[in-house]
């Protein structure tokens, strides 16, 4: 049992330090509402190249590429995403739902860059 504790201790210290460093980043994240009503008009733009469409309409990211994006302006939101191949394309449907959540909530996760 002591061997396991000795082996786990450095991992626990590392995770705690990494978690504390992540918490010190001052990047605002909008909270996901627990209840209430949010009204938005959503436009779904089907793009064969969603990364290019996002770069042209939202702006180019500092690093990396996007699979999709959502742009909120007032009560209007535009989602740029690749269309699902069929009704069973769970990945495309997940991405569309993720971007729809941005339409209703705003920025809810930390940026990669």
Per residue in 15-63, pLDDT (tens digit) is 444 444 443 344 566 666 677 777 889 999 999 999 999 999 988 887 7
Among residues 95, 107, 108, 101, the alpha carbon closest in space to that of 42 is found at: 101
Residue 104: pLDDT over 60:
yes
Say if CB 103 and CB 72 are below 8 A apart.
yes
| Global confidence as pTM | 0.65
pLDDT in tens, 2-18: 555 555 555 554 444 44
Is the pLDDT higher at 70 or at 111?
70
Provide the mean pLDDT of the chain: 77
**What residue spans define the domains of the chain?**
33-105
CA-CA distance, 113 to 100, in Å (whole number)?
Answer: 22
Strand partners of residue 46: 81
Edge-to-edge strands, sheet with 76-81: 41-46, 76-81, 68-73
């Amino acid at each position: 049992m002591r061997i396991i504790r000795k082996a786990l201790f450095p991992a626990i210290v590392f995770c705690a330090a990494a978690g504390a460093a992540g918490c010190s980043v001052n990047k605002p994240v909008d909270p996901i509402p627990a209840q209430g009503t949010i009204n938005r008009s959503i436009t779904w733009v089907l793009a064969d190249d969603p990364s290019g469409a996002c770069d042209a309409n939202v702006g180019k990211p500092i690093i990396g590429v996007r699979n999709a994006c959502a742009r909120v302006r007032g009560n209007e939101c535009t989602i740029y995403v690749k269309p699902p191949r069929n009704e069973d394309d769970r990945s495309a449907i997940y991405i569309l739902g993720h971007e729809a959540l941005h339409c209703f909530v705003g920025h809810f996760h930390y940026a990669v860059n």
